[in-house]
Each structure stands twice: as C-alpha cells, then as structure tokens.
C-alpha cells in the first residue's frame, strides 16, 4: 500500500513586534553595561555612547524612539545635549539620569527639556517602568502647564489650582491628576490607571484606585463647585468639564 506524502507545514506569518530604538548616553561603563543588558532583555535595541558630543550627534540622526542621558558627561553635559535638541525642535522623549537628587536639580532637568528625571542609584524595574510610561505619553507631553476648565497644573513648580484656589496634593495624587489632565474627557479604566500611574505589571484585586480618586475628588471638587471628576458606571473615571 502506497503511503500518501505528508504535506510540509506551511510557514505561518506572524506580526513582528516593533523594536524600540533607545539611545543611552552614559560615561560610566558599568552602569551603561547593566542598563543595556537589562533593556535588551525587554526588547529594546540599545545604542550606547559615552560622551555628550557623540550623544548629540546620534540623537540628531532621527533614528531613535527614546533617549536616556546622564547629567554629568565629558565633552558636553547632559542638560546641554537636551537643550540643543529642543532648540532644533527635536521632541525625542528623554529620561535624565543623575546622582543629584535635590528638587532644584530635578527642576533644572525638566526646564532643560527632559521628560523625566531618575536619581542614582536606581532599580532597573523603576527605570523600565518610567521608559514605558514615556513611550505611552501623548505627543503634547512637552507642555509645562496643563489646563482643563478651571483646573490648572504647573508641572515645573508642581502646583495645582482651581479657579485661583491652591490645591495641595500628595505626590501620588499629583501624578494621578496629571495623567487624567493629559486625557480630558477620556474614560480611564482602573486597569489603565494601575498600569500607568502605579506601574503595576499585573492588575491585583484592589480598591487602590477608588481610594485615591476619592481623596482627589474631595480636594478638587469642593462643595458647591461643578464636579470635574466623574465616575463612569462599569467603566472607570473621567476628568471633564460638563457641558
């Protein structure tokens, strides 16, 4: 009895995940090696240069999606690199690394055009989470003052006000409100908030979001004021100005 030929398996076409091209400008070889290896395991294509001038030239090429730059560099310091890029209207998201942790240093990093600021030493998990958050930011993330109706947030001075009334927020409340103000009118699910504001890689069974939204609402929407923070039944929350 003749055997029927066994057909060869057809090749299955699979979508290719986009590679995130990251430029790392760091003169400390041990830190650069550790960061590069960690990010490569997370799917990043990392290019490392060890001085500011080479870093600036690489960033100007337009080949990268994201940049991590040390503040203190030979040839040209990190903030000067960022300022040069911003003058050229290059909006490449930038995370600044620095051993300087004072508030003024962080403010200077943001004023120079950095999008986020991480002090050394740092945990690799936090670095990865901050990079993921930068990649998810809307394209208007370079603004320094956010406004939604009567609500205003100064990202440099870290101040919030509503109709001229100062609103005192804790750091997590500030971050939560910033996330909402960047997406006015959008329904934000609890999963989105846990992943993007708390940097959770999994979604635990928790009322954490509801508790913080409640605290934020009590500070933003005082008695007699038109509510800005709305609960969307079965969906999540939204920051919007009522029609």
Residues of the chain under the 50 pLDDT cut: 1-17
Can you say whether residue 36 is alpha, beta or left, with left for phi > 0 and alpha for psi between -120 and 50 degrees?
Answer: alpha
Rounded distance, CA 221 to CA 226, Å? Answer: 7
Rounded distance, CA 173 to CA 179, Å? Answer: 10
pLDDT at 170: 92
pLDDT tens-digit profile of 21-68? 999 999 999 999 999 999 999 889 999 999 999 999 999 888 888 999
Rounded distance, CA 226 to CA 63, Å? Answer: 46
The structure's pTM equals 0.54
Cα-based distances in Å from 40 to 10, 68, 69, 112, 128: 31, 14, 17, 28, 11
Helix (H) or strand (E) holding 215: helix 208-220
pLDDT at 212: 95
Cis status, amide bond into 121, omega within 30 of 0: yes
pLDDT at 40: 92
pLDDT tens-digit profile of 157-175? 889 999 999 999 998 899 8
Structure tokens at 52: 């500011």
pLDDT at 12: 38
């Amino acid at each position: 009895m003749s055997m029927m030929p066994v057909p060869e398996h057809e090749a299955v076409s699979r979508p290719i995940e986009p590679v995130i091209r990251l430029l790392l400008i760091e003169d400390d070889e041990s830190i650069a090696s550790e960061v590069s290896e960690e990010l490569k395991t997370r799917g990043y294509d990392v290019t490392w240069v060890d001085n500011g001038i080479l870093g600036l030239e690489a960033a100007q090429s337009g080949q990268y999606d994201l940049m991590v730059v040390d503040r203190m560099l030979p040839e040209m310091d990190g903030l000067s690199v960022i300022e040069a890029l911003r003058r050229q209207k290059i909006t490449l998201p930038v995370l600044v690394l620095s051993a300087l942790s004072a508030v003024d240093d962080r403010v200077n990093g943001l004023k120079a055009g950095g999008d986020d600021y991480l002090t050394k030493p740092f945990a690799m998990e936090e670095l990865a989470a901050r990079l993921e958050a930068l990649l998810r930011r809307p394209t208007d993330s370079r603004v320094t003052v956010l406004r939604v109706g009567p609500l205003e947030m100064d990202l440099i001075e870290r101040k919030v006000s509503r109709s001229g009334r100062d609103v005192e927020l804790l750091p997590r409340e500030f971050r939560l409100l910033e996330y909402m103000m960047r997406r006015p009118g959008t329904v934000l699910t609890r999963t989105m908030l846990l992943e993007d504001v708390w940097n959770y890689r999994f979604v635990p069974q928790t009322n954490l979001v509801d508790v913080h939204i409640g605290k934020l609402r009590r500070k933003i929407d005082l008695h007699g004021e038109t509510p800005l923070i709305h609960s969307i039944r079965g969906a999540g929350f939204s920051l919007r100005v009522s029609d």
